[in-house]
Structure 1
Amino acid sequence: VVCPGHRPAAPAHRSRLPPPRAPQAAARRPVLADVLPQQRTYLSREELALHYGADPQDIKLVADFARAHGLVVVHASVAERSMVLSGTTTEMEAAFGTQLHQYSYPEGTYRGRIGAVTVPAPLGNIVQGVFGLDDRPQAEAHFQVRPTPTPGAIIAHAASQAFTPPQLAQLYQFPAGLDGTGQTIAIIELGGGFKPADLKTYFAGLQLPMPTVKVVSVNGARNQPTNANSADGEVLLDIEVAAAVAPKAHIVVYFAPNTSQGFLNAITTAIHDKTNKPSVISISWGGPESTWTAQSMDQFDQAFQAAALLGITVCCAAGDNGSADGVADGQPHADFPASSPFALACGGTKLTASGPTISSEVVWDEGANSATGGGLSAHFPVPSYQSSLPLPTPPAGAKAGRGLPDVAGDADPNTGYQVRVDGQNLVIGGTSAVAPLWAGLLALLNQKLPKPVGFLNPLLYGSLAGKNVCRDIVSGNNGAFAAGPGWDACTGWGSPVGNALLMALQAGGETIA
C-alpha cells in the first residue's frame, strides 16, 4: 500500500562498477576449472583488486555524476567494484530517474521505488547495479525448529532422533585429528543474534572448547539477540554447527540488514576482509529467484566468482520448501543465492542412524513446506561443469539452467541438530544446517591440504565424480524432482564422505599458474 504524502528517509545507495577486464576472462583461470587445489594458484586480495577491480577512471566518472546531483561519495572501493553514495530522497530520485515511496506490510514498512533506475548514457557500461533505493526484506532464513510433541502422542523412532554436530561428523566420516586450526569460517546473518552464555553452555556440554567468535557490523547491523522464535535460531545454529565440527577455526559473523544491498555488502565485506581472511563462507539465507532482480543475482554471482579466485568456498542453503520454493504457481523454482553457479548449493536429507552407522538416508520431504529445495535456475544458464549432466527437463517454454543442489546433508528437523538458542535446548533442521556443516568440513580439509579447496563444483562434476566422495541418495523426491543414481535435483551428488573427499583432493600434481 502506498502511503500518500509519506516521504521516506534519505537513503544511501550502492552502485557496482565493472572491472577493467571482462569478468569472463577470470573463468578461464585454472582456479575455476577441474583442477586439484594444490595445482591452483589463487590470487591474493591485492592481486584481485589489481587485475579485476574497478577502473579508477570509472570511479571518477561516477563520483563526478554523484556530485553533479548533490550526492556525497561516502565510500569507494576498487577491489569491491563499488561506491556508496548518500543524499536526500529528492536528490536520489533526480539522479536515478525514479520515484521513491514508503510502503506498509504486516511486519512493518519499507522504502520502494516506482519506475526503472536509469543513469546517463556515458555511465551505461560502467554502472552495473544500483542498490539501496529499495530496502524491503529480501531473504528468509532456511531453518525449521522441530515442534514439541503433543503429550501422549505416538512418535516414530526415526522422528525422535536428533544429532549433535560431532555425531554427524562421525556419521559422515569427517577426517579425524583435524580441528580447523588456522582457518576462518565466515557466517552471513541478516538478523537475530547470539548470547555468549548460550555458546559457553552448549560447547561445555559437548566437551569442546569455547569457539572464538567475532562480530563484524555491516551497514549498521549488529548482534541483537531477542528470543528463540526469532532469527536467533539461525544465528546460533550456524555458529554451533560450524564451530562444533571445526572447534579451532575462527568464526566471524557478518551481521547486515535484510535487504539486497545489505546481503550483498555482507558477502563482499567477508570476501575482501584482509583482517580475518575467511577461507569458507556459510550462507543460510535466500529466497526464490523470482523475488530477486536480475542485477542483484548477477552481482552476487560476480562476488562469488571473486571468492573463487581467492580460494574461498561459498556454501549456500538450497531452500526448505521443496521444488516450488514456496511459490504458489504450480511451477518449480530455484532458491537464490544457492542457484549461482559459483555457490556450493547444499540440499537436505532425512538421516537415521544406529550408533556410529547410518541406517538410512533419503531425500528430506515432509511436504511442500518442509522439504529440500532443488531444481533448475531460471536465470543462470547451465555452467560448463554441468554440460554433460543429464539435467531435468525444464518447464515448458523455459531454457535449461544451472542445476542444484550440488551436495546435501541431514536437514529434516525430525532428524535434526541439537542446538542451544536463547537458553533453550532445541532440535533444528533445514538446509541452513547443511551449509555450516559443509563449511566446517571444508575448514578441516583446508587445514590439511597445502592450499584451500576453493571452488569445489568443477571437481565434484569432473575428476571427483565416481570416487564416492559423497553418499549417493537414491530414494525420495522434493515435489517435482526425484532422487536417483548419481546427481539429482534433490540432493545433488549426496551427503559428504569426509575421508574419501580428503583422499581424493590429496592426489598429486604440478602447480598451474
Structure 2
Amino acid sequence: MGRLVDVTALALVAGCGEPEAVGTATASFGSGTGAIDDGLETMVGWSGSSGWVTTGPDDPVGQCGDDPLCLPPSEMVPTDKPDGLPSPLPGVYDDLGPAAPDAGFRALIGFPTRQRALLEDRVALMYAPGSPLFRGYMTVEAWMAEHAPDPGDVGLVENWLRAQGFTIDFEAKNRLLVQFSGTVAGFNATFKTTLHVCLRKNPLWDDPPFPVYCTLDRFTLPKFVAERTNGLATADLPAEKGELTAEVGEIVADPPGPEAYGPRAFYGAYDMQPLFEAGFNGRGSSLGVVAAGTYHAIDLQIFWKSFGVVRALPKRIAVMEPVFERVTETALDVQWASAMAPGADVVVYEGPDARNTSLLFTWNHAIASNAVEVLTFSFAHREDSEPKPLRHQYDESALMGAALGMTLVSASGDSGKPDTPCSSPYVTCVGGTHLVASQEGVIEKEWAWQMSGSGPAKTFARPYWQDADVKLDRRAMADLALSSSTEAPMWMRRWAKWEYFGGTSFAAPAFAGMVAVINGHRRARGLPRVGFLNPILYGHAPTRATFRDIVYGFTEHYHAGPGWDYPTGLGAPDVALLALALP
C-alpha cells in the first residue's frame, strides 16, 4: 500500500517554520530530527555560477523591414527545408492520393526561440537549488523582450504569405506560430510539393480514422523564409463547421460499480488523503487542460457528484475556430484532472479538433498565456509517426513554459513506444502501470503496463538530469508512471453513460491535478509553484526518494527494474511526501 504521512506533518502552524515529515517518512527526510535534507550535495545541473548574460535583441531585418518585394533575388533562391507534415506510414497514415486542387487547407509556420542557448542555460539554473536564480521565473514580458521571434522577421514572412494569396488567420501570442490558409493548388505551387490525403489512425481507442494532409516529398522555401523560420510545422484540412448540440439530462449522483477505478482509488494509491485532510485540495493553484473540441458539462458534474467531488466548473477558452463537437479525450482529461484537485481553478483551452494544427497552436497558446501553473496534454501521437519540425515546435513552446515556471505534463502514449510532445525534455512524461488496488486505493501490487509509451527520443539529446540514469545519448521516456492498464481500467462519464478505459490519457491529467494540489500546499507555505519538474525529480535526492519504485513488468522493448527504467521512469509518486520534499 502507499506510504502514509501523518496529517500534522502537513498542517501550517504559525512560527513553526518548515513542516516535518513524521510517522512513516523515509530516511531521506532525515534521521532522528525529522528534518528534510536539502539534498544540495546530490543536485546536478548547477556549476556554482550563473554564467547567464542577455545580449539583447538580434539585429532587425534591415532596410527592407517587413516588405518581401524589397528583398534581392539572392534571398528568393529555393531552399530545401524539412516540414512537419507526415508521410504515408502503413497502419498509421494510409495514402488516399492527391488532394483536390480546389480544396482548402490551414497550416502553421513555426519560428525559433531567439537566443535559445542562453535561455536553456538560464532555465537550468532556475531549477538548481542553491543557484542565485533558483525559482526566479521569467515574466511573459521579459521572455517576449529577450526570446520571442523578432517581430520584423514574423511580419516579413506573413507579408510574403499574403503575397502568395494566403490569409493570415492567427498569430500566436508569443510569435512562435502563425496560422495561414488558402487552397491546395496555391499551397502546392508555393511550396513546390503535392498535398496528399492520408487516413490517420485515431489514437483514441476504437474511434474511427480521420483524413489529414500528408506529403511524399520535402518542401522548398525561399531562402529568406527558410533562414527565419523552423519551416512548416503542420498543414491540415480546414476546421469543420457546425453547431454544438444542446446538453440534456439532470445532474444526479449515479455511482458506477467496482469494475473500474474512480478518483478515490488514486487518492489512496498515491497518498493524497493526508493533504486533503489537512485542508489542501489545490485551492490557490490553477490547472490547464489542452483540449480538442469540448466536453459535456452535465456528464462532468455527474462524474463529480458520483464520486463525492465538490468544485466549481472550469473556465472554457476557445483558442482558434469555433468549437462544434464534444471529444472523448477532452471529457476524460477534464474529469480526471479536475477531480484530483477539487479546489484548483481549471481552464480548458479548446482548439477546434484533434488534428496537428489545432493541437500545436492550442498547446502553444496555453503556455504563452501563462494563466495556469500546470498544463496537461493527452492527445499523444507516436513520435516516429510525426516529423521532426512538429516535434521540435512543441519543444519551442515547452521551453518557454519552463522559463515561466509552468509544469507541463503529457501522456507517454499507449503504443509501448515514445510519443510527442513527451519527447521534449521540458515536458514531464507520464507513463503507465498496471495497478491492483481496492476502490480506496489500498495497493495489492503494481507493475509496468505493457503498453506504456517509452524509449529513447528520436532527436532530442539526453538532458543533463538524466546523465546518471540513461546510457544512450538521447532523451529517455518515461519520467514517472501512474495507473493506466486496460485490464485494471478507470471510469469516465461519456455521453450520458458510464464507460471504463485504460491508457496514459488517465495518468497525465491525474498527475497534473496532483501537482496542482502540491502547488496549493506550497502557496500556503509562502513558496513559489514548482514549475519544470524534471531536473529536481531526477537530481534532488529527497524528492526522488518519494517515488515508489516499480520493479516488475515490461513492454515489448523494455523491462522495469530497480531504479529508473523506460516503462515507468522513477516510479509512482507519493504525493504527500512529494509535497514536503520539493525544494
TM interval, short-chain normalised? 0.7 to 0.9
Aligned-pair CA distance for 1:218: 3.4
What are the Cα deviations for residues 42-84 of structure 1, in whole angstroms up to 9, with x where unaligned? 1122222111111122123213322332333334346232223
SS of the equivalent of 1:419 reads: strand
Of residues 70-79 and 297-306 in structure 1, the stretch that sits farther from structure 2 once superposed is 70-79
Of residues 5-14 and 495-504 in structure 1, the stretch that sits farther from structure 2 once superposed is 5-14
Structure-2 separation of matches of 1:321 and 1:302: 25
**2:553 corresponds to:** 476
Counterpart amino acid of residue 171 in structure 2: A
Query: Quick one: structure 1 residues 121 and 108, their matched pair in 2 at CA, closer, same or farther if it must change by over 3 Å?
Result: same
Query: 2:170–2:320: 8 Å Cα contact kept in structure 1?
Result: no
**1:146 corresponds to:** none
Structure-2 separation of matches of 1:69 and 1:223: 30
**2:469 corresponds to:** 389
Aligned-pair CA distance for 1:467: 4.5
Matched, 1:216 2:317: yes
Query: Quick one: structure 1 residues 410 and 55, their matched pair in 2 at CA, closer, same or farther if it must change by over 3 Å?
Result: same
TM-score by structure 2 length? 0.72
2:456 alignment partner, one of 360, 363, 376: 376
Query: 1:136–1:259: 8 Å Cα contact kept in structure 2?
Result: no
Query: 1:102–1:109: 8 Å Cα contact kept in structure 2?
Result: yes
**2:177 corresponds to:** 82
**2:186 corresponds to:** 91
TM-score by structure 1 length? 0.81
Counterpart amino acid of residue 278 in structure 1: V
Aligned-pair CA distance for 1:161: 5.7
Query: 2:461–2:475: 8 Å Cα contact kept in structure 1?
Result: yes
**1:147 corresponds to:** none
Q: How does 1:58-69 map to 2 (within 5 A)?
A: 58-69=153-164
Structure-2 separation of matches of 1:190 and 1:386: 32
**1:260 corresponds to:** 356
SS of the equivalent of 1:215 reads: strand
SS of the equivalent of 1:99 reads: coil
Query: Quick one: structure 1 residues 445 and 73, their matched pair in 2 at CA, closer, same or farther if it must change by over 3 Å?
Result: same
Aligned-pair CA distance for 1:259: 2.2
**1:269 corresponds to:** 365
Query: 1:32–1:455: 8 Å Cα contact kept in structure 2?
Result: no
Structure-2 separation of matches of 1:78 and 1:5: 31
**1:185 corresponds to:** 287
Matched, 1:499 2:576: yes
2:345 alignment partner, one of 247, 250, 261: 250
**2:483 corresponds to:** 410
Compute the RMSD of aligned alpha carbons.
2.7
**1:204 corresponds to:** 305
Name the % identity: 28
Counterpart amino acid of residue 187 in structure 1: V
1:455 alignment partner, one of 532, 537, 559: 532
Structure-2 separation of matches of 1:23 and 1:352: 44
Structure-1 separation of matches of 2:121 and 2:464: 11
Structure-2 separation of matches of 1:161 and 1:33: 44
Query: 2:314–2:345: 8 Å Cα contact kept in structure 1?
Result: yes
What are the Cα deviations for residues 381-424 of structure 1, in whole angstroms up to 9, with x where unaligned? 21111122244xxxxxxx64211100111111332323322222
Structure-1 separation of matches of 2:123 and 2:97: 53
**2:39 corresponds to:** none
Aligned-pair CA distance for 1:308: 0.7
What are the Cα deviations for residues 272-331 of structure 1, in whole angstroms up to 9, with x where unaligned? 226xx0111111121222111111111001111111111111111112122xx3xxxxxx
Query: Quick one: structure 1 residues 357 and 294, their matched pair in 2 at CA, closer, same or farther if it must change by over 3 Å?
Result: same
Query: 1:129–1:299: 8 Å Cα contact kept in structure 2?
Result: no
Query: Quick one: structure 1 residues 8 and 182, their matched pair in 2 at CA, closer, same or farther if it must change by over 3 Å?
Result: farther
Structure-1 separation of matches of 2:261 and 2:107: 43
Structure-2 separation of matches of 1:447 and 1:308: 19
Of residues 212-221 and 477-486 in structure 1, the stretch that sits farther from structure 2 once superposed is 212-221
Structure-1 separation of matches of 2:330 and 2:96: 33
1:133 alignment partner, one of 222, 235, 240: 235
Matched, 1:281 2:375: yes
Query: Quick one: structure 1 residues 467 and 492, their matched pair in 2 at CA, closer, same or farther if it must change by over 3 Å?
Result: closer
Aligned-pair CA distance for 1:93: 2.8
Query: 1:8–1:101: 8 Å Cα contact kept in structure 2?
Result: no
Query: 2:402–2:531: 8 Å Cα contact kept in structure 1?
Result: yes
Aligned-pair CA distance for 1:439: 0.3
SS of the equivalent of 1:118 reads: strand
Query: 1:446–1:452: 8 Å Cα contact kept in structure 2?
Result: yes
Query: 2:542–2:581: 8 Å Cα contact kept in structure 1?
Result: no
Structure-2 separation of matches of 1:194 and 1:248: 20
Query: 2:548–2:573: 8 Å Cα contact kept in structure 1?
Result: yes
Query: Quick one: structure 1 residues 293 and 376, their matched pair in 2 at CA, closer, same or farther if it must change by over 3 Å?
Result: same
Query: Quick one: structure 1 residues 4 and 405, their matched pair in 2 at CA, closer, same or farther if it must change by over 3 Å?
Result: closer
Consecutive unaligned residues of structure 2, counting only runs of 5 or more, are 1-94, 201-207, 240-257
**1:343 corresponds to:** 427
Matched, 1:27 2:128: no
**1:464 corresponds to:** 541
**1:149 corresponds to:** none
SS of the equivalent of 2:195 reads: strand
Query: Quick one: structure 1 residues 6 and 384, their matched pair in 2 at CA, closer, same or farther if it must change by over 3 Å?
Result: same
